[in-house]
Structure 1
Amino acid sequence: MLLATVAQPAHAAEPDTSGVARQLQKTIASLKFGEVLDTEPPTSTQAARSASVDVDPEKKLAGRDRAPKLKAAALAAATQIHQQPNVDVTVLELDSKGRPVSSGTVVTSPTYKDGVIVPVDQNFHTTAVRYRHWDTNLWNTNNGQGDTDVVPGRENAPIDYMSPYPASTLKLLVGFGILQLVDNGTIKLDDTYAYQPTQASDLCGTATTDTVRNYFDRMITVSDNGSACAMIKLLNDKGAIDGLNQTFQDIGLETLQLKGTNPANGGNWTSGINMSSLDTAKLLALVNGVSGTAWTAPNGKAVTSDVLSASSREFFMKELGDQGWNNVLSTTNYCGYTYPTAGMPQRISQRWIGADGTVTVNNDPTDGKYQYPVQPCQDAAQVTFAHKTGLSENAVSDAGIVKSLPGKANRRYIITAFSNLGYRYIDPNRQEVQPSVNRTEKFAILGRTMDTYEAQR
């Protein structure tokens, strides 16, 4: 049986009636994502078909959390997006032991303009969506419909949906795979790894040598692509990619796929990489820690947080908590700015706050230097948000674990959001600030609205 809004695992005593799915759908519909401006609008159907705008990470900076400054000509040419964008959002509510108790998943596309609620079963699993791999050309020319299935056997599913490319949020999959290698004794975090690509890659850069721990840290906290390439190459070196993808299948997270990467350099981040908001939220629940059985996979396997050791989960959570790019569902980095609007009321890691009280990410004076002290927002914060963001020309994402700060309204939930509204899309009310805001602030409103809802439950 599929439930339209919320589901309750067998270990819970009573059904949850929070209506998080209904609230999420209402919120997404009110945000009017279809009103953003496109700085690279297709000039005609034929032009869109021939345009080289598909996911091409080596040229389009896929997986970065920063973006090149938009040129004046592009801003002047911006017009309203020609159709409803694809947005995929999940809120997974947890009990005091980290167990999922209710969820809401909503997707929008040109077919589902106001957003449709994804039905889930008692294990927070769905077979009601025919997920398709992302293809920007098809999104532009085929009413947002993809043509390559992510999960086989879904031809008769009632919802046909092309999953947005995950951008740098794909690094969650890489991190999970690396920590599984640590847990099985194949590698250690303090091992030194010599990254020696045998094929050139603009995405990945040149040869480097560092510890696995340091590569992992830079991959997650500042979204360094070179470090991610090194870790993907390490997974390939150890023959671990197929096993990682099989693990996702075995624990019922079929839409999580890290496929098609180049063993020579760890690059080639193409449409073979896929993440749905629902399965990403469930993966983060395991990382966060679940007491007992989290859910039962379609193969009958009881899934627990033992997929990673306690020490690996603790390390992963710390890295996510040290995220530098707080600029999608949360916008604390932009504290003091009139734009973008305030997102989720997150207290950010002290790691990036300098003596003058401002944030500088990755010692980057151009893209990572924020102008105003963040202490007012730190003082007003309500939650922590252990998360990973992503940005490319045709993708934006954010996924993480929310917990209330001591003395604040109690909430514990996971929120994950994926969309094709990458840095080519801007808000009509966009303001020139430094660093540039090259993504819509609608995701910040989404984060704030859903957190307010969770605080009032």
Structure 2
Amino acid sequence: MRGSAALVTVLALAGCGAQAGPVDTSRVAGTENAEASAVAHRLQKTLDALRFQEVLDTAPPGSAQARTLMNAVDKEARNTPRQRQSLLAAAPDAKPIVQQPQIDATVIELDRRGRPVSSGTVLMSPQYKNGVVVPVDRNLSTTDVRWRQWDDAGWYANKGQGSIDVVPGREGASLDFMSPYPASVLKLMVNFGVLRLVDQGTITLDGTYDYRPTETSSLCGGPTSKTVAQYVDESITWSSNAASCALVKLLHDNGAVDGLNRTFQDLGLQTLQLKNTNPASGGRWGNPVTMSSLDTAKLLTLVNGAPGTVWTAPGGKPVTSAVLSASSRKFFQDKLRSQGWNDMLSTPNWCGGAYPAAGIPHGVPSRWVGADGTVNVNGSKFGRDVRPCTKKAEVSFAHKTGWVNNSGADAGIVKALPGKGGRSYVVVVFSNLGTQYVDAGRPDTPEGIYPYAFTEKFAKLGRIIDTYEKNRAARG
């Protein structure tokens, strides 16, 4: 979007200019108040206005790059700096994306106690080119979507529809959507399961776990011995695949994977499924691992904590934040706030530059910031002084990102800092727009500096959502 017309559009969508038109309540059936419809309507209009279909594909169908990237198992094993540099090297010859991207986005607005007050979920795909609002009821639940498992080749061959159902019995649903692979956001499910074991007294955070895989895996690496707390820290804050494999194997060693999947079902989080992982290594992360933005946002709402019954599951069970203890919720939130990869809905690691655009306005945790103000995440250097952005930060963002070539994801809890606007919400975005897709005219990255891996449209989306939520909080 360019020029004054684009500026007016973005300001209006963020709630800074003229009010949007009437909410299309026919596409938000089941909601119980106008505010829920309002946030869904704004989210749909914003996604449409950002024109994600204008991104370029560095590995278009039939290219040599595309043939090397088709891999349905352990995708993260190929998610290396060398691969990203190879894709960026192909950027000058990138082609327009062949069809409307696949995007699944949810915002859950919270009150000061952390209770949901409204929500909006929007799906975008080749079938829903302008985005479609998902009908969500007062329990943040929907039966109106036939969720399909991601299929790498099928996105091209079947216009993004998919063929394997995630939730049974949805053949007659009004919407049909293939959920993007969650990439490293799946580590939210893994760490939730580990903290459940801590709460049950099966393991302790201070206890040492000897990871001894009985099968080799390029994703997982070799044997290690660390405290559970250290594995959790590495899994969340800098997205260590090796640490996460250890935690998945820890779950298998304790016979807890099937129980974790049943827990998600009992909580009404039917699309959250940690399936088909390898008990011998903790690896084999493939398309049977599924997450929708709505269920992920609901999980983070529980992690954030709220008094009383937060929602009622489809089976009639009241769901409360006691699914995790207060100490486990605090530990989880602290690790999410310590995130080093701030590069999708937020971009403070690239503070002050013309590219990428500024996203959700939070600061970079001090553990990653050197004496010169630049960020170094486990050897990945970002090269910009982030202290000005941290000084101007308005919110905390406790989040987890994920990416492979055809998956880009960000999921987190946003809370205003004292005196900075009072908003509180959960935001989750899953998409097939991973490191394979770039913006037209993106600048070159200096030698030795970590390259920006996404389209900056995600950062613009994060900023517009946050501005809208800030204005909502100001209205009271």
Match of 1:374 among 363, 381, 386: 386
Letter in 1 for 2:460: I
**Deviation readout 1:212-241 (Å, 9 max, x if unpaired):** 000000000000000000000000000000
Matching residue of 2:272: 256
Matching residue of 1:119: 135
* 2:84 match: secondary structure: coil
Aligned equivalents of 2:266, 2:36: Cα separation in 1: 30
* 1:210 match: secondary structure: strand
8 Å contact from structure 1 (residues 402, 413) kept in 2: yes
> Normalised by the size of structure 2, how large is the TM-score?
0.90
> Normalised by the size of structure 1, how large is the TM-score?
0.93
8 Å contact from structure 1 (residues 6, 103) kept in 2: no
CA distance 1:120–1:182, shift in 2 (3 Å): same
Cα drift, residue 370 of structure 1:
1.4
Cα drift, residue 267 of structure 1:
0.3
**How do 1:297-312 and structure 2 match up within 5 A?**
297-312=313-328
Aligned equivalents of 1:180, 1:64: Cα separation in 2: 31
Matching residue of 1:42: 61
Letter in 1 for 2:217: S
Give the fraction of aligned pairs with identical amino acids, expressed as a percent.
56
Match of 1:180 among 184, 187, 196: 196
2:444 maps to 1:444: no
**How do 1:70-81 and structure 2 match up within 5 A?**
70=86, 74-81=90-97
Letter in 2 for 1:384: S
430-439 or 116-125, which deviates more: 430-439
CA distance 1:389–1:73, shift in 2 (3 Å): closer
* 1:181 match: secondary structure: helix
Cα drift, residue 393 of structure 1:
1.0
Matching residue of 1:5: 28
337-346 or 443-452, which deviates more: 337-346
Matching residue of 2:104: 88
Cα drift, residue 43 of structure 1:
3.3
Matching residue of 2:13: none
**How do 1:27-426 and structure 2 match up within 5 A?**
27-43=46-62, 51=67, 53-58=69-74, 61=77, 68-70=84-86, 74-362=90-378, 364=379, 368-426=380-438
* 1:273 match: secondary structure: coil
Aligned equivalents of 1:305, 1:65: Cα separation in 2: 38
CA distance 1:17–1:108, shift in 2 (3 Å): closer
Cα drift, residue 349 of structure 1:
1.3
8 Å contact from structure 1 (residues 7, 102) kept in 2: no
Cα drift, residue 129 of structure 1:
0.4
Cα drift, residue 68 of structure 1:
2.7
Aligned equivalents of 1:19, 1:295: Cα separation in 2: 21
8 Å contact from structure 1 (residues 64, 223) kept in 2: no
Structure with higher helix content? 2
* 2:194 match: secondary structure: helix
* 1:389 match: secondary structure: strand
Which runs of 4 or more aligned residues in structure 1 lie more than 3 Å from their structure 2 counterparts after TM superposition? 2-9, 14-18, 50-67
Letter in 2 for 1:441: E
Cα drift, residue 5 of structure 1:
3.5
Aligned equivalents of 2:403, 2:337: Cα separation in 1: 19
Structure 2 residues not aligned, in runs of 5+: 1-24
Aligned equivalents of 2:368, 2:82: Cα separation in 1: 16
**Deviation readout 1:304-343 (Å, 9 max, x if unpaired):** 0010000000000000000000010000011022211111
Letter in 2 for 1:215: Y
Cα drift, residue 81 of structure 1:
0.2
Aligned equivalents of 2:88, 2:361: Cα separation in 1: 33
Letter in 2 for 1:379: K
CA distance 1:53–1:206, shift in 2 (3 Å): same
**Deviation readout 1:106-133 (Å, 9 max, x if unpaired):** 0101010110001011101011000000
Cα drift, residue 353 of structure 1:
1.0
Aligned equivalents of 1:256, 1:284: Cα separation in 2: 12
8 Å contact from structure 2 (residues 37, 120) kept in 1: no
8 Å contact from structure 1 (residues 90, 415) kept in 2: yes
Aligned equivalents of 1:131, 1:63: Cα separation in 2: 26
Aligned equivalents of 1:120, 1:442: Cα separation in 2: 26
Letter in 2 for 1:398: D
Aligned equivalents of 1:419, 1:332: Cα separation in 2: 21
* 2:153 match: secondary structure: helix
* 1:330 match: secondary structure: coil
* 1:398 match: secondary structure: strand
2:445 maps to 1:429: no
**Deviation readout 1:41-100 (Å, 9 max, x if unpaired):** 1139xx99x946444344653677996313576223310000001001000001111111
Cα drift, residue 380 of structure 1:
1.4
Cα drift, residue 410 of structure 1:
1.5
CA distance 1:89–1:65, shift in 2 (3 Å): farther
